[in-house]
Amino acid sequence: MKALVLEADWKPKNGYKLSPYEEKTGKAIIGSSIWKKRELTLKEIEKPKPGKKDLLVKVENCGISEPDIHFYQTDREGYILYPGLTKFPCIIGHEFSGVVEEVGSQVNGFREGDLVTSEEIIWCGECTPCRNGYPNHCQRLEEIGFTVNGALAEWISVGSKYCWKLNEIRKSYGSEANALEAGALVEPTSVAYNGVFVRSGGFKPGDFVGVWGAGPIGLAAIALSKAAGASKIFAFETKKERRELASQMGADHVFDPLALKEDGSGPCKKVLELTNRQGISMGIETAGAPMQTIPEIEKSLAINGKIVQIGRAIQRVPMYLERYQARRAQFYGAKGHSGHGIFQSVIRLMASKKIDMRKIVTSRFYLDHAVEAIEKASKRVNGKVLVKI
């Protein structure tokens, strides 16, 4: 079968001390400090065989995500930019949908022809965080498209316990093709859902909400906030195309934060002006630019407001803690998408048409052009770039 394989040299940077875990497993905890000279090549490799508890899925769509872009982009020394858990060589791609082609002998609840998507987090279910109900913080984690083979390929074999059926979406969207396109967007939408509703406990219908960054996760946060009854949604995004998508997904007031700075008023001034100085009950950070965004979000908060950090950035950020005390505010770090009924809820929201994430797909490529798809996504102008397999 055809698959997009990432290969790279294991060359820890000068001064990077490998942990015993990294030495033992060959898995990098901080990929950007270890993997050099990456090659992304479309290869012909053997079709996977499903294990007893696996589903063999014929992949139909696979979205390009921020980590895929950070595998593609390298620093001046030739190291990948992605700073997380990785083991190469590996087929990349993890936001996917497809059709079940074969069902392992010990699988329950799935059959051939089911439309499915899958979690990306291969949580073990046995470590202490997993047993305590925190699968996003599994200590024996594997990740599809990062440490085990991913979905930029014609087929993928994946544990059935990580898969979720899209059959309800198919019924309401009228065609398999539409359902499979929406299905590839369940995973990124679930990342937003986890931050907005699970980690932070959500907001009340009628509250004001602000979203900083309108990439795919931010766009999902806007759609989810709209569905949950936010009475005004503010979006701040530097790219024009993404600002238009933010409006389409339900944002009421959309601004370019850079243009606001030029005229001397930052995002917080706009928020306070347009909320009668009450502020937002939730500020959602999906830009991964906390140095710029957090000081603005802090100043935009209503009494008892919440900040949810979903974007990733490896840096320390200045926070003005007096404001958290004075505004009775709280800060939540969010990561992952597994557990807590998240995939089920996102699929239900799509099936009931409370959200339609297909609107964020702005480019489609075939697998033969997957590297071009990643290159296009790396411009960060688009909504979601999808690869059709």
Residues at the site binding Zn ion, with contacts judged by CB under 5 A:
123-124, 127, 130, 138, 140
Tracing tokens 């990439």 back to the chain, one arrives at 215
Which residue's CB is nearer to Zn ion, number 118 or number 292? 118
| CA distances (Å), origin 361, targets 68, 199, 303, 312 | 17, 27, 36, 22
Shortest distance, position 186 Cβ to Zn ion, whole Å = 22
Compare residues 279 and 339 and give the one whose CB is closer to Zn ion. 339
Structure tokens at 361: 């797909």
**Residue 136: CB minimum distance to Zn ion, A:** 10
For Zn ion, the closer of residues 130 and 249 by Cβ is: 130
- Closest CB to Zn ion among 127 and 371? 127
CB 300 within 8 A of CB 323: no
345 φ, ψ (degrees, to nearest 5): -65, -40
The nearest distance, CB 194 to Zn ion, in angstroms, is: 17
The residue among 138 and 350 lying less far from Zn ion, judged by its C-beta, is 138
The span from the CA of 72 to the CA of 152, in Å, is 14
Are 349 and 227 within 8 A, CB to CB?
yes
- Using alpha carbons, select from 314, 285, 288, 315 the residue that is nearest to residue 297: 285
> At which residue do the structure tokens 């791609």 appear?
93
Backbone region of residue 277 per phi and psi (left: phi > 0; alpha: psi in -120 to 50; beta: other values):
left
Q: How far is the CB of 24 from Zn ion (least distance, A)?
A: 17
Q: 133-166 b/e with 16+ CB inside 10 Å = b?
A: ebbbbbeebbbbbbbbbbbbbbbbbbbbbbbbbb
Cα dihedral 178, 48, 139, 87, rounded to 10, equals: -100
Looking at the Cβ atoms of 138 and 230, the one nearer to Zn ion is 138
Least distance CB 126 / Zn ion (angstroms): 6
Residue closer to Zn ion, measured from CB, 140 or 261: 140
**Which structure tokens are listed for 4?**
């997009």
Per DSSP, the three-state class of 223 is: helix
CB of residue 218 to Zn ion, shortest distance in Å? 29
- Alpha-carbon torsion (148, 220, 339, 177), positive or negative: negative
Q: In the complex, what is the shortest distance from the CB of residue 336 to Zn ion, in angstroms, rounded to a whole number? A: 12
124 vs 148 by CB, closer to Zn ion: 124
At closest approach, how far in Å is the CB of 333 from Zn ion? 19
Rounded Cα–Cα distance for residues 116 and 54 (Å): 13
Contact of 22 with 28, CB cutoff 8 Å: yes
Q: Hey, is 345 helix, strand or coil? A: helix
For residue 333, give the nearest of 189, 194, 143 by alpha carbon.
Answer: 194
Tell me the three state secondary structure of residue 102. strand
Nearest distance from residue 121's CB to Zn ion, in Å?
9
Least distance CB 123 / Zn ion (angstroms): 5
Nearer to Zn ion, 29 or 124 (CB): 124
Q: Return the number of the residue (130 or 297) whose C-beta is nearest Zn ion.
A: 130
